[in-house]
Every structure is written in C-alpha cells, then in structure tokens.
Homo-oligomer: A and B are copies of this chain.
Amino acid sequence: MNFEERIRCDRIKNKVMSAEEAASLIKDGMTIGTSGFVTGGPKAVPLAIAERYKNEKIKLNLYTGAIVGDELDGAFAREGLVDKRIPYQTNKDMRNAINNGSVKFIDMHLSHMPQQIRYGFLGKIDFAIIEATAITEDGNIIPTMSVGNSPTFVSTADKVIVEINTSQPIELEGMHDIYEPKDPPYREPIPITKVSDRIGVPYIPCDSDKIAAVVFSDMKDTTLQLTSINETSKKISDYLIDFLQTEIKRGRLPKTFLPLQSGVGNVANAVLAGFIELKYNNLNLYSEVIQDAVLDLIDADKIEKVSGTALTLSEEGLKRFYANINKYKEKIILRPQEISNNPEVIRRLGVISINTAIEVDIYGNVNSTHILGTKMMNGIGGSADFTRNAYISIFATPSTAKDDNISCIVPMVSHVDHTEHDVMVVVTEQGLADLRGLSPKERAMMIIKNCAHPDYKDALMNYYERSIKKHGAVQTPNLLDEAFLWHTRCLNTGNMKI
C-alpha cells in the first residue's frame, strides 16, 4: 500500500488513528451520516463503535445512502444503538428492530433525503463517516464503490471521519462525478442532457478542517448473492423485452432506445441480461444500482454509458471488475443519489424504469415495502423517484410467493407505495399488462387475465364481479369489508387460498 497516494493532504496526516480512537469521538444522541449504498459503507469504524458502546447502550440516529453492511446495520441493531434509521435497509437484525418498535424507521424517497437534510428537516448531522479510496491534496474525498448521500453528509456534518479502504484499487479515482445542487431559491437546472454528461468533480469536496479522523482498513464489502437466472425471471424478462421491441416497432419508443433503470435483485438482473441477445449496441443505463449483467453488456460491446450511484456486484462480478477496471471505468459514472434518482433528469432523459413489487392489486397500485400490511421489508428506495418520472414505468414480480401460498396479485394492496396514477406496465411470469390509457375497470380485466397465477385468477375475478354487483360499475369497484381477506387469511393460516 502506498500511504502517500492514499492521503495526499499533509494537514490531515496527523489525524490518522485507530478505529477504536475514532469510535470514541461518537457520543450518545448524535446523528451519523455514513457512506454506503449496498457497497461502499464504512466497516472498521462502525464495528469499533458497536464494540465500544455495547454495554453502554447509547442511542444514535443512523442515516445512510441506502443498504449498508452487517458491520453497520447488523452490529448497531444487535447492540441496540439505533434510535432513528433513514432511509433504506435490508439487514435481518435491523429489520427485526424496526418491526419490534425499537428502531424508528423513516422510509423516504432516496432523492428526497439529501435535500431534506440540507433544508434542516432531519436535524443536524454530527458526524459523517465515509469510506474512501483516497484523500486528495486539499482534503477532498475520493469515494469507493458508491456515492449515495455522502456529498451531503460531508457538506452538512460538523465533523468527518474518513475510513480509507486499501482493499479498493486506486484506479477507482475518476469514476465518480460529484455535484450537489444549490437550494431554493438559488437552484439551477441540473445540466445533464445525456447519460454520459459529467457535471461535477471526481471527489467529494471536503473542508480539511472538518476531518476529525482518518482510519485505515482493508475490510471487503459483503457481496450480493445472485442466483443463476431461473425460469420465472427468464419468462418475465422475455415478456418485457418483447414488449419494448414492439413499442419501438409501433413508433412509441425511439429506435435508438432510451436509458434504462433497473432495480436490485434477480429479476432485474435477468431483464438486463436479456438485452445481450438484442441488436442494440448503444444502450444507456441511467440507474441507481449497477449489477453484474451490466458487465456482460459492456463485454458484449452493447453499452454506450452507464450511470448509477453504486456498483453492486457479486463476488464473481467484483473479480471481473477489478481485473479489467480501466475498461469498465470508461463506461461507468457514479453520481450522488440526489442526481442518479433526480426527477428532473429522469423525466428529461426519458428513462424506462423496471422495479420489483411485493404485491400489485387489480387496479395497478403497487406495494414495494410492507409484508401483509404491517411489517417493513426494506423500504421504498428509489423506486418512486424513477416510477413517477419514467417514460415507461414497469413493475415486475413473480405472480406468487412462498410456494404459491401467496398471490402477488391481490384485490387490494395492503400498503400503497406507487399509486394507480404512476404504474404503466405490470409483468409476471404469466404475462404482461399494459395499463396506459386504461380506466381502472379495464386495468382490472387485463391484470387478472394477463398477470395473475392460475390458482388465483378465478378468485380475483369473483372479487371484481361481486364488487360491481354491490356498488355498480363505479370508478373503482371494491368490497371494503373483504378487500384484505386474503391477507388476514394468510396471517392466520400462512396461505391466501381458502
């Protein structure tokens, strides 16, 4: 490791300390804002904080980009250190703490969070804890595999702790494009008109006086486990690609295609993988996360440019990325989530959004966050930033969960995250429903017919028909006294079927 290359700012060389020493700066009641968006979160410092305070049970507010590793969410949750948690998580122990009431979780649109921090709506950030590749001559911070909310945490925090991760290659430098908008009434248009536009600087600006500690670490991110593409994902991908091709033929999508966004997980990865077969060789992605399939597309020379806020690769993907870093770097721009998820840019570029739903109802409302109406799964993440502003907004889900005991198409979703006004296309392994320009009753027919699993089709139609019998052909036929009967049955028996 070349120390000089990792800390280039002389003024802060005396701030190098152990993770334990840095952890002692954190005090009860503080709000900490950390880097991390699946990848790129600090690890050594959080573990040291958890260790130091495990018997004292202090309370901290934990703000991140999105998902952070077990070193942060898991360790903090297990030690009971968290009061407020914003904005997204997937850790088992953190999720339990949220659903037993010990952690207050605020489930926010990812693009809303940084501006609400600057506006002062979420309190003061005491410490930003940021994983870095290096610190520049002026004290600016070069992030690692994600950007997330780090620019705003750094610009608003009282003090900054930098965790330099020497397991990250120095070549990451130059991949990031950091731009923080001014606040109203001084905000200017965000000057991105093409996915490839760089509008900022390749580091997170940081006043070196703010840096309270620099800690060296070489801990690796926990990588995502991508299962090989299964039959369900493949069918969903096939329906979707066929749909998009037809849209081009019908002249409703430009022949050159439009930038794609695709969410986290296997289905999303499978859909992108499907593009390998196609003839496009100038694909652009304007996305939040960048998964393995993107490397395949780059290798197959299909990609013009990929913009996101995080590289979220599998173990195997990561190896490929490191082995050919300069080639991939040329194609990739990592931006703050305020920019990757920005409504202004998403609508301007005409992004086609593909996200995963927990459940969808017959009128096209989508639940992305709650299991059976009450328990938090992960959070809304950026799904609504993209969905509301997409050129075409798509939700994909298998038609059932838990060995067909749960239908993901239901009479009424038990929590609404995306309304009927926002959802254009629903696709399952059964088929695709194009809801554009359809009234609710037309949507119901199409979703039941095209997307529902055969085990649930008749029951859905029965609900719909009895709703009309009771209320007439109103705008949105529903039986309010049994809208959630399937969910309550499932709560009692583990099965939505009678």
Contact = CB atoms under 8 A, between A and B. Distances in A.
A389 B343 contact: yes
A256 B183 CA distance: 13
A467 B475 CA distance: 30
A329 B417 CA distance: 41
A266 B255 CA distance: 49
A113 to B, nearest CB: 10
Nearest to A443: B106
Interface in A178-226: 183-185, 187-191, 193-194
Chain B CB within 10 A, most for which of A122, A416, A483: A416
Interface in A219-247: none
A484 interface: yes
Given A99-B472, A252-B120, A475-B98, A107 B421 contact: yes
B471 A374 contact: yes
Contacts of A344: 189, 343-344, 347-348
A483 B16 CA distance: 56
A59 interface: no
Interface string A467-498: 11001111111101101110110010000000
A104 B84 CA distance: 45
B375 A437 contact: no
Interface stretch (A151-159, A164-172, A365-373): A365-373
B187 A350 contact: yes
Interface residues of A, number: 87
Given A344-B347, A484-B483, A437 B107 contact: no
Given A100-B472, A476-B376, A438 B106 contact: yes
Interface in A255-269: 256, 258
18 contacts: A86-B437, A98-B475, A100-B474, A101-B473, A106-B438, A109-B421, A120-B252, A343-B347, A365-B416, A374-B471, A374-B474, A374-B477, A374-B478, A417-B421, A419-B419, A480-B491, A481-B484, A481-B485
Given A184-B254, A189-B189, A416-B416, A370 B106 contact: no
Contacts of A471: 374-375
B421 A183 contact: no
Contacts of A419: 384, 416-419
B436 A122 contact: yes
Report the 5 A-B pairs with minimum CB-CB distance, sorted nearest first: A101-B473, A184-B350, A189-B189, A376-B475, A416-B416
Nearest to A87: B421
Given A121-B252, A488-B480, A258 B185 contact: yes
Interface in A90-139: 98-101, 104-109, 112, 116, 119-123
Kindly report how many copies of this chain are found in the complex they form together: 2
Interface in A267-301: none
Contacts of A457: none
Chain B CB within 10 A, most for which of A187, A344, A422, A485: A344
Contacts of A28: none
Nearest to A417: B419
A349 interface: yes
Contacts of A109: 388, 421-422
Contact of A120 (B84, B251, B441, B487): B251
A315 interface: no
A442 B104 contact: yes
B251 A421 contact: no
Nearest to A103: B439
Given A100-B472, A475-B105, A373 B480 contact: yes
Contacts of A194: 185
Contacts of A474: 99-101, 374-376
A349 B388 contact: no
A414 interface: yes
B254 A476 contact: no
Contacts of A491: 480
Contacts of A418: 419
